Amino acid sequence: MKRISILFVCMGNICRSPLAEGIFSHLVAEAGLNGCFTIGSAGTGGWHDGEPPDWRSVAIARSHGIDISGQRARRIQPQDFRDFGLILAMDRDNMAALGRIAPDGANIGLFGDTALGTGENIPDPYYGGPDGFELVYTRLLTGCSSLLGTLGAERPSWSGNTSSVR
């Protein structure tokens, strides 16, 4: 399998995209495919540069056996369009923001189209409570699992609590 590079993008890179990066990285590791992927996340805005993910994203990931506490927020950079073969926006607003700064030929998609096949936006849970973060986790897990399968990898074994929804 050739090396595939994926960048997950949301607005501030503290809620949705760090969760997507963490979930996808975990699934790739479970499948024994670490050497086949480069995985990252970024935000369309730089308000949170250098900060860890929102504590609620860290907590929901941890409750499912995934540690994203070491990630740091960053704004998307011009070189990301060269370094990542697939850039997935969490919603249409971020996809539009990417479209305004991307060079011609950049492979930008909506997570809801590419990974879920539903065309849905992944809602921003920032202003809500824990249920919103659980919903986002569940949608991202479903999409990341599908994405890994679509990219030709064997489905990972669903051991542990990674696929559980509490």
Domain count across the chain = 1
Write the pLDDT tens digit of every residue in 113-124: 999 999 999 999
Residue 165 placed within a domain: no
Residue 141's domain comprises 4-150
Residue 161 placed within a domain: no
| C-alpha dist (Å) from residue 71 to 5, 18, 84, 97, 151 | 17, 7, 18, 23, 24
Three-state helix/strand/coil letters over 18-61? HHHHHHHHHHHHHCCCHHHEEEEEEECCCCCCCCCCCHHHHHHH
The half-sphere exposure of 97 on its side-chain side, counting CA atoms within 13 A, is 19
Residue type, 79: Q
> What number of H helices and E strands is found in the chain?
6, 4
Residue 159 placed within a domain: no
Higher-pLDDT residue of 152, 156: 152
Task: Please provide the size of the chain in residues.
Answer: 166
Percent of the chain's residues with pLDDT above 70: 90
Residue type, 30: E
DSSP E strand boundaries for the chain: 4-10, 37-43, 86-89, 108-110
Q: How many angstroms separate the CA atoms of 69 and 76, rounded?
A: 20
68 token code pair: 């994203």
Residue 142 placed within a domain: yes
Write the pLDDT tens digit of every residue in 47-71: 999 999 999 999 999 999 999 999 9
* CATH number for the domain that contains residue 10: 3.40.50.2300
Residue 160 placed within a domain: no
pLDDT band at 1 (very low <50, low <70, confident <90, very high): low
Residue 155 placed within a domain: no
* Catalytic residue IDs: 10, 16, 124
